[in-house]
Homo-oligomer: A and B are copies of this chain.
């Protein structure tokens, strides 16, 4: 038995490694059109495997942290972000996700507001990417991002989730732009408005957004519940 097979044999005795990762979405203006688009922060791998490639922020599960806390904590360390919206996405445990080790990742997904996203410490090893223009990432992270995008779209069609991508106050047009960016289709402003005004937790304020070159739109506020940190979240239906 040579060294290689011994290593393989040893590895197959060890329990699978358990990691927590997070897909973080935020809106940033497109360079080309200036319209809001989905971006996400990635970190560069500084060790094998996939050394040098971009990957979702994450790390091993600390012994003293719940899964959600681990996601939240690790996020703060690697990207400096503390998202208000954080929810479990899926547990990925395919046999060949990683090379040289059996790896199980419990993945969370998060939404951050633009001002919060701006605080990210961009660096050599942390950078934001457009969600729809990703290069080849480490592990199966492309696939994971695709699934997170699917979940985001699906959830946006039902729940009141778009507001977690916006600031404290916003115009209805801004909400519509979020929907248009995420669902990638045009929406009728008048109909969209009618629907939003019929949903609960969207309260008009007495203020208007000025500085535009047209009629000033009214500002609204989201007064609904923020998901409980410990709660398992509802997740969207329909077929993938």
Contacts and interface: CB of A to CB of B under 8 A. Distances in A.
Copies in the complex: 2
A239 B200 CA distance: 13
Interface string A200-240: 00000000000000000000000001000011111111111
Centre residue among A90, A94, A95, A232 by max chain B CB count within 10 A:
A232
A136 interface: no
Nearest to A157: B237
A114 interface: no
Size category, A interface = 35 or more
B147 A61 contact: no
B63 A12 contact: yes
Contact of A16 (B63, B95, B157): B63
Contacts of A16: 18, 61, 63
Nearest to A105: B91
B18 A64 contact: no
B91 A66 contact: no
Centre residue among A15, A17, A147, A159 by max chain B CB count within 10 A:
A15
A66 B88 contact: no
Given A18-B15, A93-B106, A159 B239 contact: yes
Centre residue among A16, A17, A64 by max chain B CB count within 10 A:
A16
9 contacts: A64-B95, A67-B94, A91-B106, A147-B232, A154-B234, A159-B239, A225-B239, A234-B240, A236-B237
Interface of A: 12-18, 60-61, 63-67, 88, 90-91, 93-95, 102, 104, 106, 147, 154-155, 157-159, 225, 230-240
Given A13-B63, A65-B95, A66-B95, 9 more contacts: A18-B18, A67-B93, A67-B94, A67-B104, A90-B232, A154-B234, A232-B240, A233-B240, A235-B235
